[in-house]
Chains A and B, each alone.
Chain A
């Protein structure tokens, strides 16, 4: 059974919607700059340039929520725009997040430390599950709502789970993706691990030092063909492959041979029925940490041998958006297919010596892009790969 993408929505440092995102990608304009908030102002981050109040007002959001929730609402609303609810179309929402409502909890906790008071009710937004429920409430009524929390592969796993539920016949249509916002929690954490770059990050570059954090949300609407006949939506792309595997090496670092990545890429190809040479572009996980980019490169060479397809990390545009990255990069993968463009790996100078792989340096328009592979690898060795194909 084919799985169709019939809607997409995104918000990140490079745009508030799909159109703006595409424009930034084509203009090679990164959204990473010095932050503007008290907890981000010392760092290079991919910030969405709206406060929470501005997000609610600008995007007409009725339901209150944490920043993670609000970003998720914006992107999910865009994805679901033009869709209606039908009783005979069973619709679900599966969202990935790692931060959840942590931004609100942090604010209240800081207030408590300084002033000795806080609003305990605001902690109700904290839970990862709550952010998904709030997004669901904003959009309508769903037969099934669920939250995945597997670090940076969360959104990709949500997409995978949605596809499976459609194939199994449990759902006809599902909004899938993820959302995460910038918080002191994650900034402190990644800095303490010493995989944080104080300058603009350099994915797949020999001199890369670490990641820049970003925030945002990306969602797709997946449907079966049967459902499309009822919703009358024009499909944007097909989701043809997906896979998840465990690296089983370390809590945060990848194995030197990229074993989990090799497994997830190979299995996703198998699910898609495609041979390796059919992949026209890989949107890499490419966080710019010394470890990820090396092991992912090694995994590319294992799966694709001497014919590694054109690849890039778009995290030098958006920053690493943690649980949301699989959703945001799914949208970017579909744009690559439909706009016939290979997006560049910004801020790259020298190849990684051990593998010698050269990513796409400049935007390549008028490219023949039929099948795109997208990687999202999470802490805990949770490795996921998706394959999108042209209609």
Chain B
């Protein structure tokens, strides 16, 4: 298995393959909007998305120069994503809309599922391959690699993996990596090392 690229968006900034792409101040409420502007993204649908979708769209946007041209062609791409908190932040806002405000919000309800982020990315890039979202205790490199192996056995050429977390305590991060099938390296330790480096930058 080969790591084609990796990217990260979190409190320490936005990175691709270890190089900083943007600075971001997560203490500011509109920090994700500032990344949108810094990346000069022109995708108006972004503004109505939930935090998980925004994190994923922004992180994936940073990787455009590193993406092989055949990614997603002929459904050769499998999306494998996971987090710990599911869609907890948006769930909370939706609950408030029908309890406190007495007005259940359909535009919030739509995002009370973590896999909608996958849907948003698939819509943006027109990817029709398989996609799955898992709930895990924490980032588990072995778990992701095992899922990648299954995907390759089915004939997928690439797997795009992401750990997209946004919890009620305010922790937010997206760790994204593209893997392709090959005889090369064991990636588990490398992925853990890369993520820890980004977190502790």
Binding site for B on A (CB under 8 A): 98, 100, 102, 106, 109-110, 113, 127-129, 132, 146-151, 157, 161, 164-165, 167-168, 170, 184-185, 188-194, 243-252, 259-260, 263, 378-382
B125 cross-chain contacts in A, Cβ below 8 A? 248
In the bound assembly, the distance between CA atoms of A102 and B92 in angstroms comes to 11
Are B111 and A251 in contact, CB atoms less than 8 angstroms apart? yes
Are B98 and A164 in contact, CB atoms less than 8 angstroms apart? no
B135 cross-chain contacts in A, Cβ below 8 A? 127-129, 132, 146-149
Given contacts A168-B149, A192-B109, contact A161 B132 (CB under 8 A): yes
Are A146 and B136 in contact, CB atoms less than 8 angstroms apart? yes
Partner of B131, one of A106, A132, A244: A244
Most chain B CB neighbours (cut-off 10 Å) among A109, A151, A168, A248: A248
Partner of A382, one of B84, B105, B115: B115
In the bound assembly, the distance between CA atoms of A150 and B112 in angstroms comes to 11
B39 within 8 A of A: no
Are A380 and B95 in contact, CB atoms less than 8 angstroms apart? no
Are B116 and A251 in contact, CB atoms less than 8 angstroms apart? yes
In the bound assembly, the distance between CA atoms of A106 and B135 in angstroms comes to 21
**Additional A-B contact list (19), CB under 8 Å, known A248-B126, A250-B123:** A148-B134, A150-B131, A164-B150, A167-B153, A185-B112, A188-B104, A188-B109, A190-B109, A192-B104, A245-B129, A246-B79, A246-B118, A246-B119, A248-B119, A249-B123, A251-B111, A251-B116, A379-B110, A379-B113
Are A157 and B132 in contact, CB atoms less than 8 angstroms apart? yes
Most chain B CB neighbours (cut-off 10 Å) among A98, A149, A185, A378: A149
Partner of A248, one of B109, B111, B116, B123: B123
The 8 closest A-B pairs by CB, nearest first: A380-B119, A189-B109, A188-B104, A244-B130, A192-B104, A248-B122, A192-B106, A188-B98
Interface residues on B, range: 35 or more
Question: Per-residue CB proximity of B128-167 to A under 8 Å, as 1/0?
Answer: 1111111111000001001001100100000000000000
Binding site for A on B (CB under 8 A): 75, 79, 84-86, 91, 94-95, 98-100, 104-106, 109-120, 122-123, 125-137, 143, 146, 149-150, 153
How many cross-chain pairs have Cβ atoms below 8 Å apart between A and B? 146
Are B86 and A149 in contact, CB atoms less than 8 angstroms apart? yes
In the bound assembly, the distance between CA atoms of A260 and B122 in angstroms comes to 11
Partner of B134, one of A147, A184, A243: A147
In the bound assembly, the distance between CA atoms of A194 and B79 in angstroms comes to 30
A106 cross-chain contacts in B, Cβ below 8 A? 95
Are B94 and A189 in contact, CB atoms less than 8 angstroms apart? yes
The residue in chain B whose Cβ has the minimal distance to the Cβ of A128 is B135
A260 cross-chain contacts in B, Cβ below 8 A? 128
In the bound assembly, the distance between CA atoms of A193 and B105 in angstroms comes to 8
A194 cross-chain contacts in B, Cβ below 8 A? 106
In the bound assembly, the distance between CA atoms of A105 and B15 in angstroms comes to 37
B15 to A: closest C-beta gap in Å: 27
Are B114 and A379 in contact, CB atoms less than 8 angstroms apart? no
10 sample A-B contacts, Cβ–Cβ < 8 Å, listed by A number:
A147-B134, A185-B112, A246-B122, A248-B119, A250-B123, A251-B119, A259-B128, A382-B118, A382-B119, A382-B132
